[in-house]
Each structure stands twice: as C-alpha cells, then as structure tokens.
Amino acid sequence: MTAPIAVYPGSFDPWTFGHTDILERSVRLFSRVVVALGVHPTRTPLFNAEERLELLAQVCGSYPNVAIEKFDGLLVDFARSVGATVIVRGLRSAADFDYETQMTAANADLCPEVDTVFLPAKLGNQFVSASLVREVARHGKDVSRYAPKAVVEALQRKYAR
C-alpha cells in the first residue's frame, strides 16, 4: 500500500527547528508532504506571506518529496485539493493538545475523510515556538539554536530596521 499524502500546515512566522523536526519525521511517514502556509486575513504576521514562502523555499526546498504551497481558505478544502488524506500537527504541550484537539474535531466534522496525526515534539524542542524565536530575536539575542540560518538572518534584517 502506498503511504498517503500529508499536509503540514502552519503560520510558520517564522519556521523553527521544531518545524524541521516534524517535517523530517513526516517525510519518512508519508509519500509526499505539502507544507501549507496558512494566511490569516485578520492577523498581522512579522513576515508577510511572500517572505515566509521565500523562507520556506530555503528551509524545505531540498527535500525531494516536499512541496510548498499557500492557502487562505479552510485547511480541509486545501488538503482535498492536493489529494492529502492526513493533516500533520506537532504537539509540544498539554496546552497545544487542548487547542489541537478542538481544531481536529472541527476539521473532522467538516471533512471526515481527512484525518489528523499528532507528532510529539522531540525532547528539547518542547519550548521552541515561532513566538519565542520572534521575541528573543527582537531583543537582539542569538536564535541560531532555535531556527535555521536563513531564518536567523531574515530576523536580523527585520529587526535591524
């Protein structure tokens, strides 16, 4: 049986090593992984959608079975449009679990044929989040332990202004 296609959605504002860990494990589990940049109409991100897509291309572009796409509607509609039957989400904490189970229930209600799989953050990554990376970088501290070089440099450029 061929492994299913998965969508790995997120805001990725910015991408961190936590995301890298989840992606690297996902590519071993699924035949193809679509990294899906969700664009919230009401949120003001640090990096706009084009900047995040550019960063995604730099940090995920070299995986052979990974595609990068942007979506601005419902996640389940996007998943269906790319033939994915699995949504991958990383879990760091009990707080994540509460939020993610709600989102999973909503997505399952909207589209029962697309299932959600949770991958636990690897040990040492439980506190690594995009908001932590933004906050630490905003105060001029080194975030190279938390995010790839391309992201670290983009943050330096952003906060140098």
Binding residues (CB under 6 A) for ligand PNS: these are 9-11, 38, 74-75, 103, 106-107
Helix axes 149-160, 49-60, angle to 10 degrees: 150
CA–CA gap between residue 76 and residue 110 (Å, rounded): 7
Measured from each CB, the residue nearest to ligand PNS is 38
Six-digit token string for 142: 């080194």
Nearer Cβ to ligand PNS, position 12 or 64? Answer: 12
Torsion of CA 19, 25, 26, 30, to 10 degrees: 170
Smallest gap from residue 138 Cβ to ligand PNS (A): 18
Q: If DSSP codes are grouped into helix, strand and coil, which group holds residue 75? A: helix
CB of 1 to ligand PNS, least distance (A): 27
Distance CA(50)–CA(150), nearest Å, equals 15
CB 123, min distance to ligand PNS, A = 21
Least CB distance from residue 127 to ligand PNS, whole Å?
16
Residue number with CB closer to ligand PNS (3 or 105): 105
